[in-house]
A and B are shown apart, each in its own frame.
Chain A
Amino acid sequence: GAVVSQHPSRVICKSGTSVKIECRSLDFQATTMFWYRQFPKQSLMLMATSNEGSKATYEQGVEKDKFLINHASLTLSTLTVTSAHPEDSSFYICGVGGSHNSPLHFGNGTRLTVT
């Protein structure tokens, strides 16, 4: 069965609105979760590492005020895209688990389209 649940799978929103994406670890408690972004026909780019009970660690070039990450419990991390713009349209995927910060299990991803 699924180890990671990501919701929603698809979302369409208007420019200027905010969208929240949820990532749930179903089988184990995760102190660390990872948020990736994937452009069409490209690889996964790590956006940030979500840390339970503390601030997320953002990769260089990722706007922390635009991509808000909350990791309030050991099973849930959320990514909120604030004031979305068409250029934020992408595929977002979360990763959970593994050792040495390796996300062995990924969610099914969320396709965000900003109109």
Chain B
Amino acid sequence: AQTVTQSQPEMSVQEAETVTLSCTYDTSESNYYLFWYKQPPSRQMILVIRQEAYKQQNATENRFSVNFQKAAKSFSLKISDSQLGDTAMYFCAFLYTGTASKLTFGTGTRLQVTL
């Protein structure tokens, strides 16, 4: 079974600053995907960024980037130039590419962006 751990229940960052959210996972699989989802107060789940395990290059989406360390099973999210609209719960998720696979979510990190 796969597990996803987010060790930071809450974090705070000032507007325009950079923040890094941590995520570690445990799996015996070699082919899988990793995701970061954002859940703002509206409760809608929004895909922020996705990383394929076979790719060594870290994924980047505008102000969002990841630091994927496959050997260490670490998948952190870096948010640059933080904006008030980034305030949300952030969930790290794991999906292996076998049949009947399903997304496994971490417990989430609540990020508060302050003025």
Interface residues of chain A, those whose CB is within 8 Å of chain B, are: 34, 42-46, 49, 57, 91, 93, 95, 100-109, 111
Contact = CB atoms under 8 A, between A and B. Distances in A.
Contacts of A104: 47, 50
Size category of the binding interface on chain B: 20 to 34
A104 B44 CA distance: 12
B106 A43 contact: yes
B75 interface: no
Interface of B: 33, 35, 42-47, 50, 91, 95, 97, 100-103, 105-108
A28 to B, nearest CB: 15
A44 B100 contact: no
Contact of B95 (A43, A45, A101, A109): A101
A114 B95 CA distance: 33
